[in-house]
Every structure is written in C-alpha cells, then in structure tokens.
Amino acid sequence: KPLVGNLIGEDHVNYVLMYNMLTGIRIAVSRCQAKIRRPLTEDDFGACHKYSFDIIGNELTPSAKYDFKFKDYAPWVFRELREDYFHLDPADYLLSLTAKYILSELGSPGKSGSFFYFSRDYRFIIKTIHHNEHKFLRKILVRYYDHIKSNPHTLLSRFYGLHRVKLPHGRKIHFVIMNNLFPAHKDVHETYDLKGSTVGREYPEDKAAENPRAVLKDLNWINRGKTLELGPEKSALLTEQLSRDSELLKSLHVMDYSLLVGIHSMRRGNRDNVRSNTLKVFSPEVPLTRRKTVKGPKSPDAAAVRRAMRVSNLQPVDHVTFHLPDSDTGERQHFIFYQDEGGLRATDEANESLDTIYYLGVIDILTPYTTLKKLEHFWKGMQADRHKISPVPPTEYADRFFAFMRAVIRGGEGGGRFKSE
Ligand code: ATP
Ligand code: CA
Ligand code: CA
C-alpha cells in the first residue's frame, strides 16, 4: 500500500500521461542544465522550448514509447529559481522525478479537476493545471520571481517548472512541479486547508473521525478551538512573512488560495506511517530488440546522440523495495519555516520548543479574479452573507485571509494550548 495515493502502473489510465510528462521533464531539463549558466534576460520569462517525441527519435529527442509534444516554459528562469533560491541540487531534482518512472496519483482532491502526482521520494508534486492558471503563471512570472528573490523564506508554493504535454489527438495538459509541504519522514496527524471563509468551509466531523487523512477546513479549525502554538519570536516572523505574501497575492488579483496546515504530534510519533513499500517499478531502459531502426540516411552524430540517450522506453525490472527517508535532508534547511524536521516546531511564550511540528504553506495561488469568479460570486452572493463566502474580490479576500491567519497564529496567547492526543 502506497503512502498516499495510487501508484501508476502500466495498466493505469494515466500511465501514458505520466510517461510523457516524465520523459519531457527528463530531456528538457537536462538539456537546459547542460548549458553554461548565464544571466537572465527579459526574453527568458516569455520563452518556450518545444520538443517533439516519437518512437523513432531524432537528434534532439531520443526515441520514446509514444508520440507526443512537450513544451518547457521559461526554462532558464525556473533553473535559476531552483538553483539559487529554492536550493535544489540539479541532479537530485532530475533523479527524484525521473530516475525511475514511479509516481503516485492522488486523483483529484479539489473541485478544480486538477490531478496531483507525487514523485517516488515524495519530495515533489506535479499538479495539472487549467489553461487559465497556466496563462496566469506566465503572465506573473516576473513578479513571482522578484518576490522569491526578495523573500527567500516565502510561504508561497515553490514552483520548480511549468510544462505542457500535447497528445496526438490534440489534448493539452499543462502542469507545474512544486514542493510537497509534507515531509516523507513524518506522519501528518491532522491537515487543514484554511481560507479565512466560513461559509461551506466544514468537513463533516463524523467522517473526519473515520478518515485521519481528511483535509479539514476553517470551521473544523474554529470549532475544535485550534491555534498555532508559536511563541513571540516565531509568531512575529510568520505573521510578517504571511503579510508580505498576501500583499503580493492581493496586488496580483489572485484569490481562492489557502494556508495548508499539517500537524505532527511528536508524542504520537510515526506509528501510523508506512515506512517502505514493495513495488513493481519500471526503469527507463530500452531493450534493444524493441527499438525501431531508423530508416533513411543516418548521420554518425545522430547515432551517437541516440546511443548516449538510450533511456527512453520502460522495461519492467524486478520487485524493488523502496524506503522512505528517515530524516529530512536537503533544501528545507535553508528556510526558516521549514527548518525543524522539515517544518516549524511549536514554541511556548518563552520560545521554548513544544512537541508539535507544523507544516505550513500558501497553496493554490494561480486563480486570478476572472469573469468566472465574478459569476460565481454573483450566484453564491444571493444565498449567503456576501463577505463570508469564498469568492469575494481579491483585496477583500487577501485582507480577510490575513486577518484570519493572524487569529490562527495569535489565538494561542493567554494559554490555549493544543488539546493534544
Ligand atoms: P480547488 O481549486 O478545488 O481548491 P485544486 O485542485 O486547485 O482545488 P489545491 O487547492 O491546490 O487543489 O490542493 C488540494 C489539496 O491538495 C490541498 O488541500 C492539500 O491537501 C493538497 N495539496 C496541494 N498542494 C500541496 C502541497 N504543495 N503540499 C502538500 N499538499 C498539497
Ligand atoms: Ca484550493
Ligand atoms: Ca484551485
């Protein structure tokens, strides 16, 4: 049983999509990475590199199992973000995602129809996004980049790449790669998705009791009397960063985002975790007999490139036990809100550590206040108090969000400790 989500095997409906996404990432990212770093130019933000994959292959792309087209957006910008500001090791990034073609699918947890895929080590999330979200991210990329540069400790989603797969019948799938806020090595005992809105923002408590992985909402948080237990130091830092982040979202006219809160109780520990899985995996190795021979004139170069990149088709290998890491490694150490076991450890009034770790981040930040939302606003507004429903205009949304988050953080003052397990 996978940790979360369903592993995608060859018989899975989204197997081809997964294969194409990972092949595209592997080739496009390694191509960009192979070049010598240079300072970014204005054009880099609007850039789009195109690749065409087929079963035969060519000088640019190795042969692939399926025909598809792949676009890599602003590759130089994302490369700089990853290396300089998100502190990812380039080789690590590619290996985590594509050394083995293993992803687990979370299906579509939200209303939006997006699909979520975890890399096999659980570090990265691939989220398919709507065309509007894709256009929006491209439009705001300069602003996003500037914000990341001046806010290295931001709580906003860390976007590592923006890509598109186009299938032969014309279907286009846009997706981003981002950080998984939740670490592989710690059980998350409670999860909340908080927007600062109360209308319709409740997960049924009776169902929550049966499902420890349920994502709870604002009303559950309020009714359970939750607060983030943070002493003066951490709460000041967190409030300041959340204020800066929501100011950016306000000025970008974004809405519908939320603060995702994962809570790990150190006393409860990792008892519920699945620490390793035995899976059938596929390695990107191609058995020579299954490869098509290239017809027509061949340049010696082409053959060499193909040989060097003979990594396209998937071949089943034996059952492999894959272990999740026992400790936090890597990039999280660079960020103040992700430094304690990959998260933020609770503290008391004297800034002394308590036995809870929070995993926090602002997610779903690519929804601009479009006509669609205005319509939704109109309809929902007729049934409920206009200010409590989610789709209010961006300024109001940001102010309400931030006010709620202040209460979430500061509510603990005066003694309201978690009624821990
Ligand atoms: P909707 O628009 O209906 O809210 P969506 O498809 O845009 O949904 P999100 O809101 O981005 O989806 O995420 C849905 C859920 O997936 C979150 O509540 C959270 O449980 C999980 N999730 C999303 N992003 C992350 C992340 N970066 N790390 C960990 N979990 C995440
Ligand atoms: Ca959401
Ligand atoms: Ca969304």
Query: What is the residue whose two structure tokens read 């981002």?
Result: 178
Atom of ligand 1 nearest to the CA of 106: 16
CATH superfamily of 183-275+324-421: 2-Layer Sandwich (3.30.810.10)
pLDDT of residue 120: 86
Domain boundaries defined on the chain: 1-180, 183-275+324-421
Residue nearest to atom 5 of ligand 1 (CA): 110
Beta strand spans in 98-250 (E): 103-105, 116-119, 124-129, 159-166, 172-179, 190-194, 215-216
Chain mean pLDDT for the chain:
82
pLDDT of residue 295: 38
pLDDT of residue 200: 87
User: Is pLDDT of 283 > 60?
Assistant: no
For the Cβ of 390 lying below 6 angstroms from any atom of ligand 1, the answer is no
Atom of ligand 1 nearest to the CA of 181: 28
What is the three-state SS of 314-347? CEEEEEEEEECCCCCCHHHHHCHHHCECCEEEEE
Burial string for 175-193 (b: 16+ CB within 10 Å, else e) reads bbbbbbbbbbbbbbbbbbb
Helix/strand/coil for 394: helix
For the Cβ of 197 lying below 6 angstroms from any atom of ligand 1, the answer is no
pLDDT of residue 376: 66
pLDDT of residue 239: 96
User: Is pLDDT of 126 > 90?
Assistant: yes
pTM of the complete model: 0.85
Inter-residue contact 360 to 343 (CB < 8 Å): yes
What is the CA(18)–ligand 3 centre distance, in A? 21
pLDDT of residue 370: 77
pLDDT band at 269 (very low <50, low <70, confident <90, very high): confident
Structure tokens, 216? 């709870």
What is the CA(258)–ligand 2 centre distance, in A? 6
User: Is pLDDT of 281 > 50?
Assistant: no
Residue 351: left if φ>0, alpha if ψ -120 to 50, beta else—which one?
A: left
For the Cβ of 200 lying below 6 angstroms from any atom of ligand 1, the answer is no
Residue nearest to atom 11 of ligand 1 (CA): 364
Q: What is the mean pLDDT of residues 162-177?
A: 96
**C-alpha pair distances (Å), 123 with each of 8, 77, 328:** 17, 21, 10
Atom of ligand 1 nearest to the CA of 361: 27
Comparing C-alpha atoms, which of 211, 232, 238 is closest to residue 109?
211
φ and ψ at residue 197, rounded to 5 degrees = -115, 150
Among the ranges 12-26, 77-91, 205-219, which has the highest mean pLDDT value? 77-91
What is the CA(319)–ligand 2 centre distance, in A? 36
pLDDT of residue 107: 63
What is the CA(260)–ligand 1 centre distance, in A? 8
Q: Percentage of the chain surpassing pLDDT 70?
A: 76
For the Cβ of 218 lying below 6 angstroms from any atom of ligand 1, the answer is no
For the Cβ of 125 lying below 6 angstroms from any atom of ligand 1, the answer is yes
Residue nearest to atom 14 of ligand 1 (CA): 110
pLDDT of residue 59: 84
Structure tokens, 242? 């959340």
Please provide the size of the chain in residues: 421
Structure tokens, 240? 């300041």
In the structure, ligand 2 is a single-atom ion and the residues with CB under 5 Å from it are 364
What is the CA(193)–ligand 2 centre distance, in A? 8
pLDDT of residue 383: 62
Q: Which residue has the higher pLDDT, 265 or 272?
A: 265
**C-alpha pair distances (Å), 80 with each of 35, 86, 159, 215:** 13, 9, 12, 33
Provide the CATH number for the domain formed by 1-180 in this structure. 3.30.800.10
For the ranges 1-10, 12-21, 44-53, 110-119, the lowest mean pLDDT is seen at: 1-10
What is the CA(50)–ligand 2 centre distance, in A? 30
Among the ranges 108-117, 267-276, 300-309, which has the highest mean pLDDT value? 108-117
What is the CA(110)–ligand 2 centre distance, in A? 6
Q: Percentage of the chain surpassing pLDDT 90?
A: 61
Element (H, E) at 276: strand 276-283
Would you call 398 exposed, middle or buried from its count of C-beta atoms within 10 A (0-12, 13-18, 19+)? Answer: buried
Q: What is the mean pLDDT of residues 375-387?
A: 61
pLDDT of residue 375: 59
Q: Where are the alpha helices (DSSP H) in 211-320?
A: 218-223, 232-251, 300-308
User: Is pLDDT of 154 > 70?
Assistant: yes
For the ranges 92-101, 134-143, 237-246, 315-324, the lowest mean pLDDT is seen at: 315-324
Mutate to test the pocket of ligand 1, among 154, 260, 261 (most ligand atoms within 8 A of CB): 260
Measured distance CA(75)–CA(260) in Å, rounded: 28
For the Cβ of 14 lying below 6 angstroms from any atom of ligand 1, the answer is no
Comparing C-alpha atoms, which of 14, 363, 22, 10 is closest to residue 182?
363
Mutate to test the pocket of ligand 1, among 136, 363, 372, 376 (most ligand atoms within 8 A of CB): 363
